[in-house]
Amino acid sequence: MRLPVLVRSRLRGRPRDPSIEAVAIASRLEPDPALRDDWFHHDPIRELRGLTAERAIASGKAGELVRLLRSIEAGRRGR
């Protein structure tokens, strides 16, 4: 399964879906689609109790994933 291609548009006044936001941040952190897809489906994330990004989203933890990815993007992972 491939991650969806994201369109860089945002509707004003509407909250962004955290699963879409997580994929957008992951795309900025890892621009190579093959590496990003592999991470998304297979790499356990210790801060999310070993869930992969895919399982975190499926388990309703997309908001936690977004917060983690934002901290990584800001250079503050684990703080």
pLDDT digits (tens, 9 = 90+) for 27-48: 999 999 999 999 999 999 999 9
d(CA 13, CA 72): 26
Q: Output DSSP code: residue 8.
A: -
State the distance between the two ends of the chain, measured CA to CA, in whole angstroms. Answer: 32
Mean pLDDT of 47-65: 96
